[in-house]
Chain A
């Protein structure tokens, strides 16, 4: 047999039907559902008298609309409430397991999948959400899909898809102290651009990736879509197996040991070819900060705002000019001179326990700057309890940081957590598009430690200098 990449092994193992020149029909092992992209899909099933084919492979949670205030308080946004109620009704009617906003297993869909052990190496995972790429960190093939495809998977447990190409992103060397997984992925997007990965599945390899924890690997894979990639993946290894062992929905006991043997065989064969290769040197990286309105508009903390006049072509020059105007920044300005109004630590990119610890370590014993409002939103109800058991909530509260309940929150502002027009936010989320966190809001993407450091200083600082 010719050598195969990890992606090809998983793909080939999931093809149910492949007719010539048609999309493959591939089997889906795990379908995650949330309230925003599912109501029309359930309606479609109802209209056609169809059922959910595999309830045991389907799990739902409420995350995008849920307020992050105390659970004893009601959902005050009537339209959000209607969407949350629709998820309750649909899951009850069709028999889908649902972790609603009161469930101890509730959380951001891409956080709870791995954290509860649902996501496993070799699985195909889909969700009506582009950040499904997160799950690839465990060696799964995980992609975001639209609502029509959500309905297709509910009805058939399969997806029609054309086979993507492959790209290896090799991150060589060791990360310097204070530089994180978030900085790796921001640097990669800065290098290959927001279109660099389109049509490809990225496999991240190399020493710096191997040395990342599972939480860090998920941060990297999460933002694969920001480079345009169909999915991001990391080969499973001992870090993956240690992470999964004992998780609620992972195999247990002898079954787990047998699964580990299967998972070990998933890695890319020596000599297997990727369609593209990109290499970066981790040892040269600094903490990164986005300054524009795409995740590719990014600079190291020691950097300056670029001058649109230096752009290679007119389209790029226009985009840079427009981005600087929207962000209210001037060419040549030092990144460290950018003052901020708010910080948001959270989202499927950076709301896991390691992220919360990193932010807490920076603010411990200090006070948030008087002009800054700081908010930390844990990724799940379970992670919230774990953080509180370590006393992280106390550290945040003593520093003047607001400690909230789990949800997508200010990553996309579907719940009440939004920026006001003109407000500037250091955010650990994944998108800095115009208006992403609220109309007129300005978003700078950073790691949790960098967001925390900015909260204390009132402007961006190199967290390594603290």
Chain B
């Protein structure tokens, strides 16, 4: 799996609650049998007009935010479907970190499998980053997962964050879940024998 250790990049704000997976990537783009190439589908309903042209009002179409690597968003981001295409589309676009007060469970899990950090911060800190990203378009944010800290260049934002140690370890080291579990193959065999499976 892809690792995530440290990132510095432009942060784009989308101040909406309950951004669902159908907004992140609509179902019509899930027909691909590839694991990459979803960047143009990201937020497509918001990003493009009905005629396919760019919607200039959408944040990622504004010049200052176009090359964003970080999103700051409202609570319950990624609710809805289990589609891993959602983190794939974010990753393919170049977004490797999403900051919110909360995420939907399946989306949250899926991010860790793809080198994308879904970072949970308290409401006042998310608000601080949201306001800074809106008032200072193109501002860069640094996220250090190893040192568990988020800051901007001016250090006006400087936040120490908490994250589950096992999830951090998996992401920092880009651990291969399947490889790890296959090392427990004897335990799995024992379980099957014991349960008559």
B26, B84, B166: the one within 8 Å of A148 (CB): B84
Which among A156-164, A357-365, A453-461 touches the partner chain? A156-164
Q: Scoring B residues 55 to 67 as 1 if CB is less than 8 Å from chain A, else 0, what string do you get? A: 0000000000000
What's the minimum C-beta distance from A282 to chain B, rounded to whole angstroms? 26
Query: Is B39 in the interface zone, CB < 8 Å from A?
Result: no
Query: Is A398 in the interface zone, CB < 8 Å from B?
Result: no
Which residues of B181-197 are within 8 A (CB) of A? 181-182, 184-185, 187-188, 191-192, 195, 197
Inter-chain contact A128/B82, CB cutoff 8 Å: yes
Inter-chain contact A40/B26, CB cutoff 8 Å: no
Chain A residues with CB below 8 A from B32, complex form: 79, 83
Inter-chain contact B109/A439, CB cutoff 8 Å: no
Cα-based distance from A315 to B18 in the complex (angstroms): 10
Chain B residues with CB below 8 A from A232, complex form: none
Query: Is B105 in the interface zone, CB < 8 Å from A?
Result: yes
Question: Chain B CB within 10 Å — which of A65, A225, A421, A433 has the most?
Answer: A433
Inter-chain contact B181/A82, CB cutoff 8 Å: no
Q: Scoring B residues 31 to 66 as 1 if CB is less than 8 Å from chain A, else 0, what string do you get? A: 111110000000001000010000000000000000
Given A21-B165, A128-B82, A148-B177, A27:B191 Cβ within 8 A: yes
A149, A315, A435, A436: the one within 8 Å of B74 (CB): A315
Given A146-B82, A152-B177, A83:B110 Cβ within 8 A: no
Cα-based distance from A413 to B81 in the complex (angstroms): 14
Query: Is B152 in the interface zone, CB < 8 Å from A?
Result: no
Chain B residues with CB below 8 A from A394, complex form: none
Cα-based distance from A27 to B195 in the complex (angstroms): 11
Classify chain B: how many residues form its interface, as a range: 35 or more
Cα-based distance from A32 to B17 in the complex (angstroms): 32
- How many chain A residues touch B (CB < 8 A): the figure is 70
Cα-based distance from A132 to B32 in the complex (angstroms): 22
Inter-chain contact B84/A435, CB cutoff 8 Å: no
Which among A104-112, A300-308, A316-324 touches the partner chain? A316-324
Given A27-B191, A48-B178, A149-B113, A294:B106 Cβ within 8 A: no
What's the minimum C-beta distance from B41 to chain A, rounded to whole angstroms? 12
What's the minimum C-beta distance from A389 to chain B, rounded to whole angstroms? 33
Inter-chain contact B76/A228, CB cutoff 8 Å: yes
Inter-chain contact A319/B80, CB cutoff 8 Å: no
Given A40-B33, A319-B18, A435:B75 Cβ within 8 A: no
Which residues of A74-121 are within 8 A (CB) of B? 77, 79-80, 82-83, 86
Query: Is A351 in the interface zone, CB < 8 Å from B?
Result: no
Chain A residues with CB below 8 A from B35, complex form: 40, 43, 147
Which among A192-200, A206-214, A330-338, A377-385 touches the partner chain? A192-200
Chain A residues with CB below 8 A from B28, complex form: 413-414
Inter-chain contact B82/A194, CB cutoff 8 Å: no
A53, A79, A435: the one within 8 Å of B26 (CB): A435
Q: What is the chain B residue whose CB lies nearest that of A314?
A: B15
Query: Is B102 in the interface zone, CB < 8 Å from A?
Result: yes
B17, B82, B177, B187: the one within 8 Å of A130 (CB): B82
Inter-chain contact A82/B17, CB cutoff 8 Å: no
Chain B residues with CB below 8 A from A25, complex form: 181, 184, 187-188
Inter-chain contact A16/B106, CB cutoff 8 Å: no
Given A149-B109, A194-B18, A86:B188 Cβ within 8 A: no
Q: Scoring A residues 18 to 37 as 1 if CB is less than 8 Å from chain B, else 0, what string do you get? A: 00011101010100000011
What's the minimum C-beta distance from A452 to chain B, rounded to whole angstroms? 25
Query: Is B6 in the interface zone, CB < 8 Å from A?
Result: no
Chain B residues with CB below 8 A from A451, complex form: none
Chain B residues with CB below 8 A from A129, complex form: 81-82
What's the minimum C-beta distance from B148 to chain A, rounded to whole angstroms? 16
What's the minimum C-beta distance from B147 to chain A, rounded to whole angstroms? 20
Query: Is B20 in the interface zone, CB < 8 Å from A?
Result: yes
Q: Scoring A residues 124 to 141 as 1 if CB is less than 8 Å from chain B, else 0, what string do you get? A: 000011101000000000
Query: Is B104 in the interface zone, CB < 8 Å from A?
Result: yes
Given A83-B31, A156-B178, A294:B18 Cβ within 8 A: yes
Query: Is B27 in the interface zone, CB < 8 Å from A?
Result: yes
Chain A residues with CB below 8 A from B17, complex form: 315-316, 318-319
Inter-chain contact B178/A16, CB cutoff 8 Å: no
Can you list 23 contacts pairing A with B, beta carbon distance less than 8 Å?
A17-B184, A23-B166, A25-B181, A27-B191, A36-B30, A40-B34, A83-B31, A144-B82, A148-B177, A160-B181, A164-B105, A194-B76, A195-B75, A199-B105, A228-B76, A228-B104, A294-B20, A319-B17, A412-B27, A414-B28, A414-B31, A433-B20, A440-B50
The 9 A-B residue pairs with the shortest CB-CB distance in the complex, in nearest-first order: A148-B113, A39-B33, A146-B84, A146-B110, A144-B82, A147-B84, A433-B22, A79-B31, A412-B27
Residues of A within 8 A of B (CB): 16-17, 21-23, 25, 27, 29, 36-37, 39-40, 43-44, 48, 50, 53-54, 57, 64-65, 77, 79-80, 82-83, 86, 128-130, 132, 144-149, 151-152, 155-158, 160, 162, 164, 194-195, 198-199, 225, 228, 230, 294, 315-316, 318-319, 322, 412-414, 421, 431, 433-436, 439-440
Residues of B within 8 A of A (CB): 1, 15-18, 20, 22-23, 26-28, 30-35, 45, 50, 74-76, 79-84, 87, 102, 104-106, 109-110, 113-114, 164-166, 177-178, 181-182, 184-185, 187-188, 191-192, 195, 197
Q: A315-B74, A318-B17, A433-B20 are in contact. List 5 more A-B contacts (CB 8 A).
A: A27-B192, A37-B82, A155-B182, A156-B185, A435-B26
